[in-house]
Amino acid sequence: MELYDVLVIGAGVGGLACGARLSRLGYKVAVFDHHYAAGGYATNFKRKEYTFDVALHGVGGLGAGQSFHRILDACGAADRMIPLPKEHPYSIQTLQQRIDIPKQATEYKQLLIRMFPDEKSGIDSLFAAIYRLHEEMSFLQDPDVPGWKKGALFPLRCRLLMKWSGLTTEQVVRQYVKSDAFFNFFTALWGYYGLPPSRLSSLYFFIPWTGYHIEGTYYIKGGAQAFSDALVSVIEEHGGKVMLRREVTEILLDNKKAYGIRIKDGTEYRGKWVVSNASPAHTLGNLIREHECGMRYRKKLLTKRIGPSLTQLYIGLSCHPEVLGIDAEDLLFLEEQDHAKDYENCMHGLYDKANFGLTNYSKMDAALNAYERGVITATLIDDIRNWPEEKEAYRWKKKEVTDIFLDRLDGYYPGLREKVVITELGTPRTMMRYTKNPEGAVYGFAQTVAQSGIKRTSSRTPISCLSLVGAWTQPGGGFQGAATSGFMEAERIHRRLQ
């Protein structure tokens, strides 16, 4: 039986960040993943001569000294990846016009005031409040302020954060600006967080917002795989291992204390601590026998609301996207202006109506594919229940939805269909198959007010020496959220093992 300090189940962003941080702190780490590539959603795949990024469209805070950069730096990975600043955080295409959202918050505010002059004073107050939120977050993320001081000063220094943590995105925006047109435009990016503004916790809209508009939006050279590989290299260079095609089938417990894992071929590994980057449902429902886990805890976790999945069409073209007039990096097509209605369209699988986003990888990273091999994706929020389980029906539905996407894109960019060389449709079932996340959830538990901030599932479990990390746990989903959870839990494990 091989012996490690820490065993990590799952090489997603949370598992790798946790493993990398612990490796840097001197622990011998082994990471196990059932997939052939490391990264969970944060991977690339190849079809013919095309390289597709599974997940990354954009992240904030990767500039030197910024929030995400600091976490990656502590994990030893910041200088192993090259952030590529985006020209615009995103662009919006309505039926009438395309609007590129400016990089700088000050310019964005001016644009909004030009578009909605009657709302000027509300817009000014909203932006002032967002800056205050950013200051509060910077205080919490400041590595030079000790944890005890942050805790003691939290009620005094983080008043807005406390207040907004109990409000939805809509409740916050409407406090400042009443106009529906402004509201719909300003919150158009809701799809990135998986719930419409009427249900989405304001923290999960505004904290990434500050990252995007105050710190800057980035892609990473080489795509999501380059991000994950950077974390893998830290683990391996510190004597750890990342073992792929290794499915963990059991967490070994003795008297409610985790001491190892068993993989599918029966091999056992022992460690002082076990970290699971798999979903709580899979960890507690499949990897631990029922009687070994606190029933109340288990029931509480298994009855939480799961967040949505995504359907994404990966398209390889026989020309650069700019030849077809596609020159934005990330473009949201806002055909339906009412976000609550659009969410329902997505959840009911109305693929011909639901708003979708187009990402132009050829523009974000010119080196990912040759110039004449354009790569774009079309993405929308989706529900696994829209996808039949039966193989043949599923295959037909994939074909039907691929055609709908291509027709819609061809409507915006005539001639696009003729340039399509290859397509691959990732559905919620694909997401579930590769990551084992229930319902193919991409941000873990739904990011509602009741499941966010300090109410989000903690990394601690009632089983001694067993932790959960990743999008399902605090602080939440996305590359930065999942990496932060892994980093924070690594720090706690270090304090316990020291």
Ligand X SMILES: Cc1cc2nc3c(=O)[nH]c(=O)nc-3n(C[C@H](O)[C@H](O)[C@H](O)COP(=O)(O)OP(=O)(O)OC[C@H]3O[C@@H](n4cnc5c(N)ncnc54)[C@H](O)[C@@H]3O)c2cc1C
Quick check: 288 binds ligand X (CB under 6 A)?
no
Minimum CB distance to ligand X, residue 155 (Å):
30
Quick check: 57 binds ligand X (CB under 6 A)?
yes
Minimum CB distance to ligand X, residue 188 (Å):
15
Quick check: 437 binds ligand X (CB under 6 A)?
yes
Task: CB nearer to ligand X: give 401 or 471.
Answer: 471
Of positions 20, 30, 42, 220, contacts ligand X by CB under 6 A? 42
Task: CB nearer to ligand X: give 228 or 345.
Answer: 228
Question: What is the distance between the alpha carbons of residues 231 and 78, in angstroms, rounded to a whole number?
Answer: 9
Using a 10 angstrom Cβ sphere, with 0-12 exposed, 13-18 middle and 19 or more buried, the burial of residue 70 is middle
Quick check: 431 binds ligand X (CB under 6 A)?
yes
Quick check: 191 binds ligand X (CB under 6 A)?
no
Quick check: 435 binds ligand X (CB under 6 A)?
yes
Task: CB nearer to ligand X: give 19 or 374.
Answer: 19
Contact 321, 282 (CB under 8 A): no
Q: Which two tokens stand for residue 282?
A: 């899979």
Minimum CB distance to ligand X, residue 323 (Å):
25
Stretch that binds ligand X, among 62-70, 252-260, 416-424, 476-484 (CB under 6 A): 476-484
Radius of gyration of the CA atoms of the chain, in A: 22
Task: CB nearer to ligand X: give 109 or 199.
Answer: 199
**Amino acid of residue 255:** N
Q: Kindly identify the residues of this chain, within the stretch 206-265, that bind ligand X according to CB under 6 A.
A: 247-248
Quick check: 321 binds ligand X (CB under 6 A)?
no
**Amino acid of residue 262:** R
Instruction: Give the H/E segment covering residue 293.
Output: none
Minimum CB distance to ligand X, residue 14 (Å):
3
- Would you give the distance in Å from CA 59 to the centre of its chain? 9
Q: In sequence order, what DSSP letters do the residues of 85-115 get, joined into one string?
A: E-S-S-EEE-SS-EEEPPSSHHHHHHHHHHH
Stretch that binds ligand X, among 55-63, 106-114, 250-258, 347-355 (CB under 6 A): 55-63
Quick check: 58 binds ligand X (CB under 6 A)?
yes
Contact 359, 377 (CB under 8 A): yes
Quick check: 470 binds ligand X (CB under 6 A)?
yes
Stretch that binds ligand X, among 173-181, 366-374, 386-394, 477-485 (CB under 6 A): 477-485
Q: 446 Cβ partners below 8 Å, 6+ apart?
A: 194, 195, 199, 305, 306, 307, 308
Stretch that binds ligand X, among 20-28, 35-43, 177-185, 342-350 (CB under 6 A): 35-43
Question: What is the distance between the alpha carbons of residues 136 and 254, in angstroms, rounded to a whole number?
Answer: 43
Quick check: 293 binds ligand X (CB under 6 A)?
no
Question: What is the distance between the alpha carbons of residues 301 and 40, in angstroms, rounded to a whole number?
Answer: 22
Question: What is the distance between the alpha carbons of residues 411 and 326, in angstroms, rounded to a whole number?
Answer: 13
Of positions 5, 21, 23, 33, contacts ligand X by CB under 6 A? 33
Quick check: 41 binds ligand X (CB under 6 A)?
yes
Q: Which two tokens stand for residue 421?
A: 């060389």
Q: Which two tokens stand for residue 323?
A: 């030849």
Report the DSSP pairing between strands 59-60 and 217-220. antiparallel
Number of H-type helices and E-type strands within the chain: 17, 21
Minimum CB distance to ligand X, residue 181 (Å):
27
Residues contributing to the site for ligand X (CB under 6 A): 9-14, 32-35, 40-42, 55-59, 247-248, 277-278, 282, 310, 312, 379, 431, 435-437, 442-443, 470-471, 477-480, 482
